[in-house]
């Protein structure tokens, strides 16, 4: 009986050991399978096999460091059209008053000359009548001078505030002013940071809207007023009415002529997550790690920054981010 029990115990232990090693073997086989994607907490990344990388459209290239002019970020303020309309109204009123005064002066001058001729022709009009006509003429002359001074002062005030180009367009109802009034274009004041001096304002700049799209802006003229927030040199530009609303504060890229060493990542290489820009680099064959784009500056060519000396994903970064986040969620669920 004792021998039988001993045999049963030994057999049970053997079965348990076999089951244990069989379970470990299965678990090991699962872990040794080549996954299509992987993620580690220490170094967030994605591993794709060659086929998966091809389907995702992954393209990588080692970026060469070069000298670029990333420019400076300037504040671009979309100006209310009412300010221009008020100036136009003031100029128009002063101009109309000057023209009216000139017309009245011309009428009274001719009347005086007519009476003067009659007075000289055997005094067909009295001295008193001639003197009264001259008084009217001289009074109209003074009114005309005053109206012209007012008109000139109104123009000068507009020039001091808006510059010669804009004030002329306003006074003459030129094409620039009409496009602004019709809402086809929006006037923006681009102010460089304090201390930045440009040799000449660029003919075009890129204004950066809230949806991260660049809008081309055309130079109008230098501004005699700066943005009160930055106290730097400012310039007037116009942008097409593409979602830019007067009163909006945007940003713009102003080239300074000072080159810096770095690389430019195309927009397609940058992805956004948690409010920050990221990019992916190839750290091994078909393995890509996500890195935060720290200290980068967005330019019209892309993102200017210094990055590790590794092949960078230029196409397919969004697919990698989707796979990266999917694996984070999966690992969180497994935990």
Cβ atoms within 10 Å of 88's Cβ, excluding its own: 19
Q: What is the third-level CATH fold of 72-78+182-254? A: Elongation Factor Tu (Ef-tu); domain 3 (2.40.30)
Q: Nearest-5° angle of CA 192, CA 180, CA 184?
A: 105
Report the distance separating Cα 302 and Cα 315, nearest Å: 13
Q: Are 110 and 149 in contact (CB under 8 A)?
A: no
Q: What is the third-level CATH fold of 45-70+260-334? A: 2.40.420
Report the distance separating Cα 324 and Cα 322, nearest Å: 5
- Running along the chain, 335 residues long, what does each successive block of 10 average in pLDDT? 40 40 39 32 68 88 84 87 93 96 96 91 86 94 96 94 92 94 92 81 82 82 79 89 82 80 90 91 89 82 86 91 83 61
Q: What is the pLDDT of residue 88?
A: 95
Report the distance separating Cα 46 and Cα 107, nearest Å: 88
Q: What is the pLDDT of residue 148?
A: 96
Q: What is the pLDDT of residue 299?
A: 74
Q: 262: Cβ–Cβ under 8 A, 6 or more apart, which residues?
A: 65, 66, 68, 70, 304, 305, 306
Judged on CB neighbours under 10 Å (0-12, 13-18, 19+), 211 is exposed
Q: What is the pLDDT of residue 44?
A: 65
Domain ranges of the chain: 45-70+260-334, 72-78+182-254, 83-179
pTM value surpassing 0.95: no
Cβ atoms within 10 Å of 148's Cβ, excluding its own: 17
């Amino acid at each position: 009986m004792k021998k039988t029990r001993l045999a049963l115990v030994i057999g049970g232990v053997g079965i348990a050991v076999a089951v244990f090693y069989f379970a470990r073997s299965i678990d090991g086989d699962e872990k040794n399978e080549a996954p299509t994607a992987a993620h580690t907490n220490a170094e967030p990344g994605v591993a794709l096999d060659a086929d998966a990388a091809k389907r995702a459209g992954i393209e990588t290239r080692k970026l060469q460091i070069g000298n670029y002019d990333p420019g400076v970020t300037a504040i671009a303020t979309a100006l209310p059209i009412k300010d221009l309309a008020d100036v136009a109204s003031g100029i128009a009123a002063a101009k109309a008053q000057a023209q009216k005064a000139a017309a009245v002066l011309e009428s009274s001058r001719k009347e005086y000359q007519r009476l003067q001729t009659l007075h000289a022709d055997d005094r067909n009009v009295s001295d008193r009548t001639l003197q009264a006509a001259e008084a009217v003429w001289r009074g109209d002359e003074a009114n005309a001078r005053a109206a012209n001074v007012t008109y000139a002062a109104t123009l000068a005030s507009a020039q001091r505030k808006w510059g010669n180009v804009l004030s002329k367009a306003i006074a003459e109802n030129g094409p620039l002013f009409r496009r602004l009034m019709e809402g086809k274009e929006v006037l923006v004041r681009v102010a460089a940071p304090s201390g930045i001096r440009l040799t000449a304002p660029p003919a075009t700049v890129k204004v950066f809207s809230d949806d991260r799209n660049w809008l081309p802006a055309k130079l109008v003229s230098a501004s005699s007023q700066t943005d009160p927030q930055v106290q730097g040199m400012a310039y007037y530009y116009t942008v097409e009415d593409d979602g830019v609303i007067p009163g909006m504060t945007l940003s713009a890229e102003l080239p300074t002529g000072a080159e810096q060493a770095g690389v430019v990542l195309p927009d397609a290489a940058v992805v956004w997550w948690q409010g920050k820009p990221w990019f992916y680099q190839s750290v091994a064959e078909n393995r890509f790690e996500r890195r935060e784009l720290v200290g980068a500056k967005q330019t019209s060519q892309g993102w200017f920054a210094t990055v590790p000396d590794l092949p960078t994903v230029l196409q397919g970064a969004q697919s990698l981010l989707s796979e990266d986040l999917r694996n984070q969620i999966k690992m969180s669920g497994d935990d």
